Structure 1
Amino acid sequence: MNSDGLVLRRATDSDATGVADVWLRSFAAALPTVRRAHDDADVRGFFADVVVPHHETWVADDGGTVVGLLVLDDGQELEQLYLDPSWRGRGLGDRFVDLAKRRRPDGLGLWTFQVNLAAQRFYRRHGFVEVERTDGAGNEEREPDVRFIWLPEAR
């Protein structure tokens, strides 16, 4: 799995299964202590019926295999950024954040779980600043989370 043939492109309906599979593998690897709010079938249905057809979804395609995903909402929210565990630490997340900043040049916001220290380090490295912490009452997992924002002038 080298990155020579890696392409970032908009997701199509046919990518939904691959996108969901990456999300499931990544969530399990990065967040083993976080209770998932939905089972695998619900996650797959959500990506196929809601995320891919109705949100700006990007995939990292390695020779026809989805190895990462980025989801942006219609505003300034980075909704999801997940990588296949074997692709972590190889610059793919950096490429996705750069893409998100180009697509939302006025700024971005995101949530990550407090237990996900690696994600927090990653976003801080990319110029995001912490603005809020919660007890998790507002998310489906009921897991304490942290809000980050990136503003272009804060770079």
Structure 2
Amino acid sequence: MAELWLRSFAVALSTVRRAHDDDNVRRWFADVVVPQRETWVAVVDGVVCGLLVLSDAELEQLYLEPAWRGRGLGDQFIELAKTRRPNGLELWTFQVNESAQRFYVRHGFVEVERTDGLRNEEREPDARFVWRP
């Protein structure tokens, strides 16, 4: 999962400064994400090609292998997230990630807040989106 996250982040968010090096990302997945979050993966031919991480009502992570973008996998993950959290979801995305914002809006999320990024580790302006059924 961490390897997919690293590849996807590098492609989708190439202008965003990462707050943690590769080894710290791997440890975070092993020590925090997998044991403490509701985590779903899509696997094709034994390789993780997508991941979804939910924490309470937050859609915390949705990352796809770059080759799997635009093939419906993200749509399936959003439907799964809505099924798992039928009372609503919220998420943060970086403002520079316009394709993610279009994706979430297409799935019924509404932007409710923008920040200057001072509250996230990357110090990157971000936006909060909410979905309510």
Identity %: 74
Whether 2:71 is the aligned partner of 1:81: answer no
What does residue 132 of structure 1 align with?
113
Structure 1 stretches of at least 4 aligned residues deviating more than 3 Å after TM superposition: none
Listed as ranges, the gaps of 5+ residues in structure 2 are: none
Query: How many pairs are equivalent?
Result: 133
**Larger Rg, first or second structure (1 or 2):** 1
What does residue 51 of structure 2 align with?
69
Alpha-carbon distance, 1:53 to partner: 1.2
Alpha-carbon distance, 1:54 to partner: 1.1
Query: When the two structures are superposed, what TM-score results if normalisation uses the length of structure 1?
Result: 0.85
Secondary structure of the residue aligned to 1:121 is: helix
Secondary structure of the residue aligned to 1:141 is: coil
Whether 2:93 is the aligned partner of 1:112: answer yes
The residue identity in structure 1 corresponding to 2:34 is V
1:31-50 pair list within 5 angstroms: 31-50=13-32
What does residue 23 of structure 1 align with?
5
The residue identity in structure 2 corresponding to 1:58 is W
Secondary structure of the residue aligned to 1:29 is: helix
Q: For the residues of structure 1 that align with 2:31 and 2:40, how far apart are their CA atoms?
A: 16
RMSD: 0.5
Listed as ranges, the gaps of 5+ residues in structure 1 are: 1-18
Query: When the two structures are superposed, what TM-score results if normalisation uses the length of structure 2?
Result: 0.99
